[in-house]
Amino acid sequence: AASDVYKRQSMAYTINDECINCAACVETCPVDAISEQGEMHVIDAETCTDCGACVDSCPVDAIEAP
């Protein structure tokens, strides 16, 4: 159902306000789901595959699991 697809897309990793804009996550993301937005980075929920690679690369633990 369409609602299942929506739930799947809304369950991506997120980057919180602790982000220091170092771009370590950008370099680690295998699907280029992370981009710079102002003074921090954001994860595109539709592109994110929930692999978790970004979590391990973040030096300030600013990335939260879905």
* pLDDT value, residue 12: 86
Per-residue pLDDT of the chain (66 residues; tens, 9 = 90+): 444 444 444 578 999 999 999 999 999 999 999 999 998 999 999 999 999 999 999 999 999 998
Contact assessment for residue 37 and residue 52, using Cβ atoms and an 8 Å cutoff: no
Q: Closest Cα to residue 41, out of 57, 61, 60, 26?
A: 26
* pLDDT value, residue 8: 46
* pLDDT value, residue 9: 47
* pLDDT value, residue 10: 55
* pLDDT value, residue 11: 72
